[in-house]
Amino acid sequence: MSAILEGSIVAAFGRHYEIELPDLTLITGFPRGKKSPYACGDRVVLERSSPDQAQIIRHLPRSSLLYRSDAFRQKLIVANTTQLVLVVATEPSFSDELLTRALVAAETESLRSLIVLNKIDLDEHLPVARHRLAPLANLGYPVIELSARHGAQHLLPHLAGELSVLVGQSGMGKSTLINALVPDAAAATREISESLDSGKHTTTHARLYRLGDPGGALIDSPGLQEFGLAHLSRGAIEQGFVEFRSHLADCRFRDCSHRSEPGCAIKAAVAAGGIDERRYEIFLRLGSGAF
Ligand X SMILES: Nc1nc2c(ncn2[C@@H]2O[C@H](COP(=O)(O)OP(=O)(O)OP(=O)(O)O)[C@@H](O)[C@H]2O)c(=O)[nH]1
Give contact residues for ligand X (rule: CB under 6 A). 118-119, 121-122, 147-149, 168, 170-176, 192, 195-196, 201-203, 222-223
Q: Which does 172 bind (CB under 5 to 8 A by kind): Zn ion, ligand X, Mg ion, none?
A: ligand X
Name which of Mg ion, ligand X, Zn ion, none residue 195 binds, using a CB cut-off of 5 to 8 Å depending on partner kind: ligand X
Give the phi and the psi of residue 288 in degrees, each rounded to 5: -80, -5
When CB distances are held under 5 to 8 angstroms depending on the partner's kind, the choice from Zn ion, Mg ion, ligand X, none that residue 251 binds is Zn ion
Q: How far is the CB of 280 from Mg ion (least distance, A)?
A: 32
What's the closest the beta carbon of residue 264 comes to Zn ion, in angstroms? Answer: 3
38, 175, 182, 217: which one binds Mg ion (CB under 5 A): 175
Tell which residue, 61, 100, 97, 71, has the closest CA to residue 84: 100
Nearer to ligand X among residue 107 and residue 220 (C-beta): 220
Q: Determine if 164 is a binding residue for Mg ion (CB under 5 A).
A: no
Alpha helix locations (H) across the chain? 96-108, 126-138, 174-181, 186-198, 234-240, 265-271, 277-287
Separation between Cα atoms, residue 8 and residue 278, nearest integer Å: 40
Tell the smallest beta-carbon distance from residue 273 to Zn ion (Å): 17
Other CB atoms within 10 Å distance of the CB of residue 70: 13
Binding to Mg ion by CB under 5 A, coded x per residue (else -) over 201-240, reads: -xx-------------------------------------
Q: Are 179 and 220 in contact (CB under 8 A)?
A: no
| Between 181 and 264, CB nearer to ligand X | 181
What is the 3-state composition of the chain as percent helix, strand, coil, each rounded to the nearest 5? 30, 25, 45
Neighbour tally for 127: CB within 10 Å:
10
Of the pair 200, 245, the CB lying nearest ligand X is at: 200
**Closest distance of CB 153 from ligand X, Å:** 13
Q: Which residues pair with 218 in a beta bridge?
A: 164, 209
The distance of closest approach from Cβ of residue 263 to Zn ion in the complex, given in angstroms and rounded to an integer, is 8
Backbone angle region of 10, left / alpha / beta, with phi > 0 → left and psi within -120 to 50 → alpha: alpha
What is the contact surface with Mg ion in residues (CB under 5 A)?
Answer: 174-175, 202-203
